[in-house]
Chain A
């Protein structure tokens, strides 16, 4: 067991990784299985999904029937610990709190971070997504191509287990044969959606989600993942054997005690821990990255939250994977005579070009789904199908009035009843109560379908974060101040989502509570609300115009790497987690190679 307290720190590590989520988990996994000695620092507490996950608890067993509160914003049984939109004692500020200008920041102070509760959507960025500027003249191109990352997407999908199908669709890459797990059968609402959206020209295909629809092939995958490394193969095989297939119950947001979904805590960290090459300190709030006289990073200082004491750790390489916001904050707080603007910030771009995903949603009531015979719709604890963006060519021809696309996620069905299951029915029932209300509740149960657009945001000059000049957290560390503004591209995209969803509801013969919102500025969720915060330390080819190179290695400090979403220089509509992991694996491979060559 490599969970240690700060007094057990070794005098130096090959690599220090700050953060234990998708980026930090993948980085530590790759490094430790290659024999690199790693220290991981996590600001939250240790978390053990196998023993802490409420797999079958029902809302009536929770306070307030499990409804969300500021303590547990996504509901009582959501896995998030010590987090949400606010963290006690750890504020952040916004320069402007108006709708559309405000940034809302979701954090999770726990081992594994936000990977414990995420939606498990695992989409690859496509070719266009790496070269958006070349394609439409906006934003930034990545200093790499899809082909550079494709082998890492393959490896991550094989390691974590992703269900889905290969559909051969534009800018929606297929995976090689044998990589994806079988997609779960569509629910009845999925089939209706597919039938009617299909008539509108919208493709509805299997979602890609990191849930094991069958057990991983522990006999063959390890050798494909770690050729020539029998020790790594053995550790990965053992870890894969410890993961069960989904048993078709329990929302994935609770986390998964049987390790059927990807969480850093159930997939990345077990083999890393078992390697003996990982020391992990939890409750370790990193204050700054320290530097040596030669300008290289030398280690970090951190506060042990259990004692309030400050500690130092030394490493040859420092990897920040604390979430885009926290990584930026750490860099800006790591000021020295040599780095007066913060670490690796000679470009002045640390904190700039922060992005989230464009989000807008709409609900319809679908008469064809009323009064259905009872049947189990729990499924894979999340969506089985989705609609990838379908209008690439019309958009490129300038016919849509906005430059980037979105995909559609849906939700609905006869799921475990919660506080809202029979709530807000007045608009369809005309205000029934009594026996009539009970009949209405039965009739309408499972007949509502919600549509959520998830769209590409183009990085802009007005969306960034910086250190607040006055506000500090409870340890005296300056906090972030966010600035946010959507461009017309995102606002028009949100209006387009609304119209599309209304068209789909109409095509399904459904009812709408209100007409679609024509003003995208009213439909679009605030920045940060989709919890896809990326950017803030963008990668590029020019040290004056970017913070890192294509290896997520900072230009100014060659032994400082950023393996979370911070180096993203675009934010495709595809949910970012899979790309974070693929790029983290790629960056970690680069670290291994450079360490072997004594370049770091």
Chain B
């Protein structure tokens, strides 16, 4: 149930986003990034490699509630649940995305400058087309937007910047997902366990690859 303040917040945010989308090209907001780059420290040049880390352990997470909700919706559009594995948000990918865009390193700061404006853009675009933010759209509506931005090479000129955001976001989502135990299992990765012998590819693999 929505409380009044949060509705106000969302309306205010929406207004701001729509105004921003109308008055400023996405490209220039990409260049500026959105919000200051994190001031946090990295893990340094001699971190404990045996420790198991989770997002937020080394630097603080910075998604706002709005960003987090949109991020979760979009990563589940990219990697939804199916019969082999859960949706991205169900295995911690949103926390990972937050860790990534909150990191103090140059590549991640650059991605922050793509992801945060991109999330704002997709909410603004959702509101423009359907009057609701992305997370509140139905699957058909979400697909209508994603179909326009999912392939940078063929995206219409007005969607080209957004398509670049989508490509980055899909890569990050996939990276976050397929590195989890569920993601490895989805790919049928077999390994990372000690073996007495290495036997090479079994016959069915050689047959499939046309080698026997």
Contact = CB atoms under 8 A, between A and B. Distances in A.
Interface stretch (A430-438, A481-489, A522-530): A430-438
A64 to B, nearest CB: 6
Interface stretch (B15-23, B30-38, B121-129, B187-195): B187-195
Contact of A247 (B45, B188, B195): B195
A246 B146 CA distance: 47
Contact of B186 (A77, A185, A438): A438
A369 B209 contact: yes
Interface string B47-82: 101101100011000000000000000000111101
A249 B200 contact: no
Given A52-B49, A54-B50, A63-B43, A379 B175 contact: no
Interface string B131-145: 000000000000100
B187 A441 contact: yes
A342 to B, nearest CB: 30
A139 B85 CA distance: 58
Contacts of B46: 45, 81-82
Interface centre among B79, B181, B209, B211 (most CB of A within 10 A): B209
A377 B202 CA distance: 11
Contacts, number: 220
Contacts of B7: none
B184 interface: yes
B147 to A, nearest CB: 9
Interface residues of B, number: 72
B184 A185 contact: no
A417 interface: yes
A87 B53 CA distance: 24
A414 B189 contact: yes
Interface residues on A, range: 35 or more
A52 B198 contact: no
A215 interface: no
A432 B174 CA distance: 12
Q: Looking at chain B's contact residues, is the secondary structure mostly helix, strand, loop, or mixed?
A: loop
A374 B190 contact: yes
Nearest to A65: B179
A62 B54 CA distance: 7
Interface string A426-446: 110011111101100110010
A372 interface: yes
A110 to B, nearest CB: 9
Interface in A51-67: 52-54, 56-67
Contact of A58 (B174, B179, B195): B179
Contact of B107 (A69, A88, A192, A416): A69
B188 A53 contact: no
Given A70-B105, A435-B80, A421 B178 contact: yes
A173 interface: no
B190 A414 contact: yes
A368 interface: yes
A58 B192 contact: yes
Given A54-B49, A65-B176, A70-B106, A60 B181 contact: yes
Interface centre among B151, B154, B206 (most CB of A within 10 A): B151
A319 B165 CA distance: 54
Given A58-B179, A64-B108, A420-B175, A442 B209 contact: no
A255 to B, nearest CB: 9
A57 B49 CA distance: 8
Contacts of A423: 171, 174-175
A95 interface: no
B191 A249 contact: yes
Interface in A378-411: 378-380
Given A71-B44, A416-B189, A57 B52 contact: yes
B170 A368 contact: no
A119 interface: no
B171 A63 contact: no
B103 to A, nearest CB: 6
B198 A419 contact: no
Contacts of B77: 433-434
A438 B179 CA distance: 14
Contacts of A434: 77-80, 143
Given A65-B179, A375-B190, A422-B175, A185 B198 contact: yes
A133 to B, nearest CB: 41
Contacts of B191: 249, 376-378, 414-416
Given A188-B211, A431-B154, 18 more contacts: A53-B49, A57-B50, A61-B52, A71-B45, A72-B47, A82-B45, A87-B45, A192-B211, A249-B193, A249-B194, A368-B210, A374-B189, A374-B190, A375-B201, A380-B198, A423-B174, A431-B151, A435-B80
25 contacts: A52-B49, A57-B50, A60-B181, A63-B103, A88-B45, A187-B201, A191-B211, A192-B211, A373-B202, A375-B201, A375-B202, A375-B205, A376-B190, A378-B198, A415-B189, A417-B183, A418-B175, A421-B178, A423-B171, A431-B151, A433-B77, A433-B166, A434-B79, A441-B187, A445-B189
**Nearest 4 pairs between A and B by C-beta?**
A431-B151, A185-B200, A247-B194, A374-B188
